[in-house]
């Protein structure tokens, strides 16, 4: 990883920790930190979007289906200039447009509201089909959780995308092994994840979700694939970047104390 990327990722993770502490409430740290690397590469190298073009009709669309990971999205949107520091700092305070799940706000680069899981892929599938019928050249991307893939609506959308050969759809699965209540394997064991997506007709890439080269190579190849929908299964660590949060489901939704806040900042400083 080059120094520029390392510094960017540390800056994004630091901003997540800072705003999550400053709001004075519990926040979804674990699932937000696990997707930072994926979102960073998406917005830096893949998506045809920019802060100046959030309303353009030819922009690519990104939908965060695992909406509880929104701190990761807000951190990345701030880094790339979609969200100002002032608005970012208002997270989870009165009258803020930034709360615990995404609320659609195109001017801030937030394409969809999200609360219930299992809806993101269906949402982008409908838009992607309409876009193809119009002859447009746009990409529609959604990021889902592995626990979210327990939802039947996800598999209905998977079948729909393959039936219509939606080569303008990219799904990313944050495969961090945990969901709200427990490890995914204890709730609904999902074996042979790659095989299941392939059986539904999707082209599959499996990557280390914290290796930027792996992510970039997969997204570059996905961009060129034209025979149907693509999924990137990203093997990640929940709470990535903060040692006491990593693989610790207590930090799915939790509150930082002054002590844990300082510890997190020290770790990120040392990581630089």
Q: What would the mean pLDDT of 22-28 be, rounded to a whole number?
A: 94
Q: What is the CA radius of gyration of the chain?
A: 18
Confidence at residue 100, expressed as pLDDT on a 0 to 100 scale: 94
Q: What would the mean pLDDT of 72-98 be, rounded to a whole number?
A: 97
pLDDT in tens, 60-83: 999 999 999 999 999 999 999 999
Contact 160, 152 (CB under 8 A): no
d(CA 228, CA 236): 25
What does the mean pLDDT of the chain come to?
Answer: 93
Confidence at residue 193, expressed as pLDDT on a 0 to 100 scale: 85
What is this structure's pTM? 0.95
Q: What would the mean pLDDT of 115-123 be, rounded to a whole number?
A: 92
pLDDT in tens, 134-187: 999 999 999 999 988 888 999 999 999 999 999 999 999 999 877 767 677 667
Q: What would the mean pLDDT of 21-39 be, rounded to a whole number?
A: 96
pLDDT in tens, 222-244: 999 989 999 999 999 999 999 99
Lowest-confidence segment of 21-35, 102-116, 178-192, 223-237 by average pLDDT: 178-192
Confidence at residue 115, expressed as pLDDT on a 0 to 100 scale: 81
Strands 140-145 and 61-64: parallel
Domains of the chain: 3-271 (3.40.50.970)
Q: CA 57 → CA 5, 106, 128, 154, distances in Å? A: 30, 12, 13, 26
Confidence at residue 3, expressed as pLDDT on a 0 to 100 scale: 85
Confidence at residue 176, expressed as pLDDT on a 0 to 100 scale: 82
Confidence at residue 161, expressed as pLDDT on a 0 to 100 scale: 98
At 50, is the pLDDT very low, low, confident or very high (cuts 50, 70, 90)? very high
């Amino acid at each position: 990883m080059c120094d520029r990327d390392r510094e960017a990722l540390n800056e994004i993770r630091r901003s997540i920790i800072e705003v999550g502490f400053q709001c004075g409430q519990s926040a979804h740290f674990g699932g937000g930190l696990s997707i930072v690397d994926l979102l960073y590469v998406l917005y830096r190298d893949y998506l045809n979007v920019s802060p100046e073009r959030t309303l353009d009709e030819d922009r690519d669309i990104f939908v965060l289906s695992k909406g509880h990971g929104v701190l990761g999205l807000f951190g990345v949107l701030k880094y790339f200039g979609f969200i100002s520091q002032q608005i970012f700092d208002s997270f989870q305070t009165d009258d803020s447009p930034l709360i615990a799940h995404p609320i659609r706000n195109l001017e801030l680069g937030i394409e969809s509201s999200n609360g219930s899981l299992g809806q993101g892929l269906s949402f982008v599938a409908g838009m992607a089909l309409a876009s193809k019928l119009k002859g447009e050249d746009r990409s529609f991307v959604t990021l889902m959780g592995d626990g979210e893939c327990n939802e039947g609506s996800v598999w209905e959308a998977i079948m729909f995308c393959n039936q219509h050969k939606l080569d303008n759809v990219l799904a990313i699965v944050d495969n961090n092994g945990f969901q709200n209540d427990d490890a995914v394997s204890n709730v609904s064991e999902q074996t042979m994840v790659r095989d299941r997506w392939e059986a539904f007709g999707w082209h599959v890439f499996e990557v280390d979700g914290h290796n930027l080269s792996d992510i970039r190579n997969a997204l570059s190849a996905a961009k060129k694939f034209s025979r149907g929908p693509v999924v990137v299964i990203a093997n990640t660590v929940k709470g990535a970047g903060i040692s006491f949060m990593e693989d610790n489901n207590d930090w799915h939704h939790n509150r930082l104390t002054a002590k844990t806040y300082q510890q997190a900042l020290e770790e990120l400083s040392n990581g630089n």
